[in-house]
Amino acid sequence: MEHVKEIRRGTLQEQTFYEQVGGEETFRRLVHRFYEGVAEDPVLRPMYPEEDLGPAEERLVLFLIQYWGGPTTYSEQRGHPRLRMRHAPFAVDQAAHDAWLKHMRVAVEELGLSEEHETTLWNYLTYAAATMVNTPG
């Protein structure tokens, strides 16, 4: 996790990536925009059996907030993330990977982050998407 040190009132404090990019509001905007794309996607939408994408959206928001240094609500509610295990019931192939990244790319770009922050976030998201692939083809 990336940290930046800054001096405040004579003490050295670290600011998390979560804080640097605007905290909860930024991650909520990111994930909401992402799920707008998922809702219309013929590859990804069938992976969400519930009609309402809201619960999935909330889980991803809480996970990303925790991952980037914000509150640990995700783990408090759901335990250890175990992302590969949680995605194992779904056939995640290259097409799903590509669709996921397509919608996430739009969402990331709309945040208007600094180039450094956008690159850091995007590098993680592309890594995470690659690790979720569990079906050849």
Contact 16, 69 (CB under 8 A): yes
Asked if the structure places residue 105 within a domain, the reply is yes
Contact 88, 134 (CB under 8 A): yes
Question: pTM of the prediction?
Answer: 0.85
pLDDT per residue, tens digit, the chain (137 aa), is: 455 555 455 555 689 999 999 999 999 999 999 999 999 999 999 998 878 899 999 999 999 999 999 999 988 888 776 766 676 677 889 999 999 999 999 999 999 999 999 999 999 999 999 999 999 86
Q: How many domains does the chain have?
A: 1
Asked if the structure places residue 11 within a domain, the reply is no
Q: Which residues 6+ apart lie within 8 Å of 133 measured at CB?
A: 92, 93, 94, 96, 97
Asked if the structure places residue 137 within a domain, the reply is no
Question: By residue range, what is the domain housing residue 53?
Answer: 23-132
DSSP letter (8 states) at residue 9: T
Q: What share of the chain is helix, strand, coil (3-state, %, to 5)?
A: 60, 10, 30
Task: Tell me which residue of 109, 18, 100 sits closest to 67, measured CA to CA.
Answer: 18
Task: Report residue 76 as tokens.
Answer: 């408090």
Asked if the structure places residue 97 within a domain, the reply is yes
Q: Centre a 10 Å sphere on the Cβ of residue 50 and count the other Cβ atoms it contains.
A: 8
Q: Which residues 6+ apart lie within 8 Å of 38 measured at CB?
A: 44, 45, 48, 53, 103
**SS3 state of residue 48:** coil
Asked if the structure places residue 102 within a domain, the reply is yes
Asked if the structure places residue 9 within a domain, the reply is no
CATH number at residue 77: 1.10.490.10
Task: Report residue 54 as tokens.
Answer: 């809201």
Q: What is the pLDDT of residue 63?
A: 95
